[in-house]
A and B are shown apart, each in its own frame.
Chain A
């Protein structure tokens, strides 16, 4: 799941406060594995009643595709369901760009090799405008150098990612490996506690 650089066209959803119930409605959370959630990504926006594809929704528009999803402010708010990150990754996205992410979603994404990139409101607007002008516009995401660039423009925009998570993404490590390596420290902490519940 590790990656360093991606150049891809992107899928724009210029709406704010997209919650995890839209990303993956609760009635599709009954699977007990991590696979297959992509089929129900944005289910109720993607399909009409009777399960016919909603032609107005961007995922059903053949003009748009790619490994990058771009959405409005406060993406991923609501429920803590990691199924939202699984659905986006399972559908084939590897990066989500927004001007603001909800905390739990951001964590869940990072724990699944899905890179959430926070950009300014102004730059987000530029990204939306670029794709409106040309649906084949591409974005270059360079994780190593921590910048992104609308292909064909000169401007490189830096983004932040915490150094620990960056290493995890670049090398494909996960938190569990790291915490398991701290077994001794955890036992020492437990033994030294003065108040135990």
Chain B
């Protein structure tokens, strides 16, 4: 089997199959498991019903992120159901002997931000979490995907899952990006081309010179949104950028183990001649800053474009429903459109690099009158780093609200909701109806486009604002 050229995905998959037999899914081993307060309580109850322990407690890490408030985190959570759910996580972690980075802990944060930052996410690993954006971790050259609560229970109880081997796709982006265009624009561009179901059944490897040139944070943004085209996950071959990022992080291998790990990781990139079930390629230079106009991430366009006259992703009826919800019209331009809220955060864009980009743009500027701007760092460590670099002062002077870490207005499980009918320019990953609050209208964009909207109070093409 080793003579046949294999893809990065194949190599990792093959190394984790415990048992494979015809007409059955593979018994698939999981190296690292993350859990959070929302999709885990029923899984723990399942273990209790069966009277079994967590099989490999050291391979699961917990944090509270989805429903936590982003102000006054030192106080008990106001909202009773959220408080109950977060307390339940604490009880369950204590009862089953799991590491918990709970509210107030210096390592607390959005699960897909803390894993990479702490060196818990490593190349060649298999990783799962009861959250679809687990695909984020694929940026390190790992197989990472979201699972349901029944599967959370299976991983807790056995460290394994039953999985059918997905098909493989390679998306190659070559060339240089235009100034002002970031990795968020790349992924929104791809989704606008292949729709929210174009990747279903596949694991996607992102390749090409434009991908190679990206930082780890930028790569995470791309892999994060793989699920928005239906793919279970996305991954990028590990390289020097990856190794430099990991080296020295708290849970990264050290000394002799580091050398051993490095040698193994260097064997992971796809072999020359390895075959994929589907191949797509795009030119980096064709990608504009992107924005969504509808109610799924596939309804996106270059920021200078007009909203399409005919439905691109979905039926005419879907398009009509989406534009009606957004109170927009076919062929309308979004440039110059007044907006009410700006949300900079979520597992897609809340890392230190995102905050630096935004701070750099807004330095010595003020937010537009009447616009609410929330900056929600991805973790306590990102928050601390931002403060250490003085970014908090830039945000304060600009009139932005720097909040405490959590998923926040990405999904509005806590109090951070965008009011009905209001337009929110958001660096998050989903523009579904009601996602940011009942009736809220979301435009998905990059951090830079969000910063520009915050300052001007309207949608702008950042390319015209950068010198």
A interface with B by C-beta (< 8 Å)? 14-17, 19, 21-22, 25-27, 29-34, 44, 49, 72-74, 77-83, 85, 100, 102-104, 107-108, 111-112, 162-164, 174-176, 178-180, 182-183, 185-186, 189-190, 195, 197
Give which listed residue, B45, B67, B158, B160, contacts A33 with CB less than 8 A: B45
Most buried by A among B151, B264, B321: B151
B150 touches A103 (CB 8 A): no
Closest residue on chain B to residue A72 by CB atoms:
B315
Flag if B18 contacts A186 (CB, 8 Å). Answer: yes
Q: How far is the CA of A104 from the CA of B163 in the complex (A)?
A: 11
B23's partner among A49, A164, A185 (CB-CB below 8 A) is A164
B428-443 vs A, CB cutoff 8 Å, 1 = contact: the mask equals 0010111100110000
What residues on B are CB-neighbors of A77 within 8 Å?
Answer: 196-197, 230, 296
Asked whether, in the complex, the Cβ of A175 is within 8 Å of the Cβ of B132, the reply is no
> Given A77-B230, A80-B130, A108-B150, A16 and B18 touching (CB < 8 A)?
no
Residue on B with the closest CB to A111? Answer: B150
Across-interface contacts of A190 in B (CB, < 8 A)? 29
List of A residues within 8 angstroms of B158 by Cβ:
176, 179-180, 182-183, 186
Is there contact, CB below 8 Å, between A174 and B150?
yes
Q: Which residues of B contact A178 (CB under 8 A)?
A: 162
* A179-B161, A197-B124 given; 5 more Cβ-contact pairs under 8 Å: A34-B42, A74-B197, A102-B197, A164-B25, A189-B18
- Answer whether residue B41 sits at the interface, using C-beta atoms and an 8 A cutoff: yes
Complex CA distance for A85 and B39, rounded to whole angstroms: 13
Contact yes or no, B313 A17, CB < 8 A: yes
Partner of A17, one of B46, B131, B159, B314: B314
In the assembled complex, how far is the CB of residue B286 from the closest CB belonging to chain A, in whole angstroms? Answer: 25
Which B residues are in CB contact (< 8 Å) with A195?
15, 124, 260-261, 264
Question: Does A82 contact B150, Cβ atoms closer than 8 Å?
Answer: yes
Pick from B81, B420, B430, B439: contact of A21, CB under 8 Å: B430
User: Which one of A27, A74, A176 contacts B154 once the chains associate, using CB atoms below 8 Å?
Assistant: A176
State whether the Cβ of B27 lies closer than 8 Å to any Cβ in chain A: yes
Task: Tell me which of A80, A162, A164 has the highest count of chain B C-beta atoms within 10 A of its own C-beta.
Answer: A80
Judge whether B258 is part of the interface by a CB distance below 8 angstroms: no
Is there an interface contact between A15 and B321, defined as CB atoms closer than 8 Å? yes
Contact B315 A85 (CB under 8 A): no
**17 sampled A-B residue pairs with Cβ under 8 A:** A15-B317, A16-B318, A22-B432, A26-B66, A27-B412, A29-B413, A30-B81, A79-B411, A80-B132, A81-B38, A102-B230, A103-B230, A107-B147, A107-B148, A107-B151, A112-B150, A197-B122
| Shortest distance from the beta carbon of A71 to any chain B beta carbon, whole Å | 12
For residue A112, which residue of chain B has the nearest CB? B150
Q: Once the chains bind, are B150 and A26 in contact (CB under 8 Å)?
A: no
Interface of chain B, main secondary structure: loop
Chain B residues contacting A162 (CB-CB under 8 Å) are 23, 25, 164
Chain A residues within 8 Å of B24, by CB:
164
Distance in angstroms from B254 CB to nearest chain A CB is: 13
**Residue B457 interfacial (CB < 8 Å):** no
B219 within 8 A of A: no
Docked complex Cα distance between A30 and B42 (Å): 11
Q: Is A80 a contact partner of B146 (Cβ separation < 8 A)?
A: yes
Taken together as a complex, chains A and B put the C-alpha atoms of A85 and B148 apart, in Å, by 10
**B197 with A100: CB separation less than 8 A:** yes
| A30 near B154: Cβ-Cβ < 8 Å | no
CB-CB under 8 A from B149, the residues of chain A are 82-83, 108
Cα distance A183–B146 when bound, in Å? 23
